[in-house]
């Protein structure tokens, strides 16, 4: 009998990839409040003005997003079983004729630190490295994800009228949890509001975070190629 364990047959991953399990593809057509804290304004501008149509996302990445949804559902269940009040799931916020939109994970009440206060609830999942960074330095200090998370809850507080928020993060490697609460900062929220207005109305793309393709944030950016970000810089003609 041949030893089938030595045959590198990847039929299951290939079949799952072909199965079309995720008909939903990225389709927004609006500027997402979850992205408004992106430290690169050019990336925001490109995602709104150039990539409004649904982009093709790999099956692998869609499964990553799906896992985020699974973690979110499980944590909401655990919060409810732990006797927190959770409501207003996916409440929508919208401005500029629907061109700026967001949906919060929910509102939560019963926090030990402020039992009677409703908070915006935002649930995230993170890999080991990001999670450890959140714990060590605080969410807001993380440039890759944390700045966006902070901006997201600020703008949600702005539109919901709530003045507190909590971000709950689960470590995807070991399921540890970490929470951080934030108060509404009107100044930060208004800056984000103005940023959204500017991104939506700008008819030229702003400078990016770095001209160096090897800059660490650019290395993980899907626009880091000659078709998008690297096609031109300020002063050159628009593409
Ligand atoms: S490659 Fe860098 S500068 Fe260009 S859009 Fe992406 S993050 Fe911004």
CATH number at residue 209: 3.90.320.10
CB distance 143 to 98 below 8 Å: no
Residue 175 maps to a domain: yes
- Whole-Å CA distances, 106 to 57, 132, 156, 217: 27, 25, 10, 30
Ligand 1 atom, smallest distance to 229 CA: 4
Residue 33 maps to a domain: yes
Residue 177 maps to a domain: yes
Cα-to-centroid distance, 229 and ligand 1 (Å): 6
Give the rounded percent of residues in the chain with a pLDDT score beyond 70. 91
Residue 10 maps to a domain: no
**Given this model, what pLDDT does residue 55 score?**
56
The per-residue pLDDT for range 142-196, each reduced to its tens digit, is: 988 999 999 999 999 999 999 999 999 999 999 999 999 999 999 999 999 999 9
Residue 128 maps to a domain: yes
The per-residue pLDDT for range 70-106, each reduced to its tens digit, is: 999 999 999 999 999 999 999 999 999 999 999 999 9
Residue 50 above 90 pLDDT? no
Q: Give the mean pLDDT of the chain.
A: 90
Q: What is the pTM of this model?
A: 0.90
Instruction: Return the bridge partners of 55, or none.
Output: 26
Contact residues for 203 (Cβ-Cβ < 8 A; gap 6+): none
Binding site membership of 121 for ligand 1 (Cβ less than 6 Å): no
Residue 237 maps to a domain: no
Instruction: Pick from 35, 38, 41, 42 the residue to mutate for probing ligand 1's pocket: most ligand atoms within 8 Å of its CB.
Output: 42
Residue 117 maps to a domain: yes
Residue 8 maps to a domain: no
Cα-to-centroid distance, 165 and ligand 1 (Å): 29
C-alpha of 43 from chain center: 13
Contact residues for 108 (Cβ-Cβ < 8 A; gap 6+): 79, 84, 85, 86, 118, 119, 120, 121, 166
Number of domains in the chain: 1
Binding site membership of 43 for ligand 1 (Cβ less than 6 Å): yes
More confident: 57 or 132:
132
Cα-to-centroid distance, 42 and ligand 1 (Å): 6
**Given this model, what pLDDT does residue 235 score?**
58
Q: Band of the pLDDT at 54, cuts 50, 70, 90? A: very low
**Given this model, what pLDDT does residue 37 score?**
97
Average pLDDT, stretch 198-214? Answer: 92
Residue 239 above 50 pLDDT? no
Instruction: Return the bridge partners of 168, or none.
Output: 123, 179
CB distance 173 to 128 below 8 Å: yes
Binding site membership of 218 for ligand 1 (Cβ less than 6 Å): yes
Structural domain that includes position 137: 22-231
Is residue 187 classed exposed, middle or buried when 0-12, 13-18 and 19+ CB atoms within 10 A define those classes?
A: exposed
Structure tokens at 125: 């999942």
Residue 233 above 60 pLDDT? no
Q: Band of the pLDDT at 64, cuts 50, 70, 90? A: confident
The per-residue pLDDT for range 103-128, each reduced to its tens digit, is: 999 999 999 999 999 999 999 999 99
Q: Name the closest-CA residue to atom 5, ligand 1.
A: 43
More confident: 65 or 52:
65
**Given this model, what pLDDT does residue 193 score?**
98
């Amino acid at each position: 009998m041949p030893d089938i364990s030595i045959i590198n047959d990847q039929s299951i991953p290939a079949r799952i990839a072909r199965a079309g399990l995720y008909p939903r593809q990225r389709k927004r057509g609006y500027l997402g409040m979850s992205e408004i804290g992106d430290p690169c304004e050019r990336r925001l501008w490109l995602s709104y003005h150039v990539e409004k149509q649904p982009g093709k996302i790999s099956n692998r990445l869609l499964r990553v997003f799906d896992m985020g949804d699974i973690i979110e559902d499980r944590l909401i269940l655990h919060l409810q079983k732990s006797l927190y009040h959770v409501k207003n799931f996916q409440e929508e916020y919208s401005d500029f004729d629907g061109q700026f939109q967001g949906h919060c994970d929910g509102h939560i009440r019963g926090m030990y630190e402020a039992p009677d206060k409703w908070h915006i609830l935002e649930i995230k999942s993170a890999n080991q490295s990001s999670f450890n960074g959140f714990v060590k330095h605080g969410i807001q200090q993380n440039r890759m994800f944390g700045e966006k998370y902070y901006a997201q809850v600020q703008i949600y507080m702005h539109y919901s009228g709530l003045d507190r928020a909590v971000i709950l993060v689960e470590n995807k490697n070991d399921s540890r949890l970490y929470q951080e609460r934030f108060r509404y900062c009107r100044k930060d929220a208004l800056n984000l509001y103005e940023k959204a207005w500017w991104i939506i109305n700008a008819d030229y793309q702003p400078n990016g975070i770095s001209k160096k393709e090897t800059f660490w944030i650019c290395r993980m950016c899907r626009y880091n190629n000659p078709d998008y970000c690297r096609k031109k810089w300020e002063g050159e003609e628009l593409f």
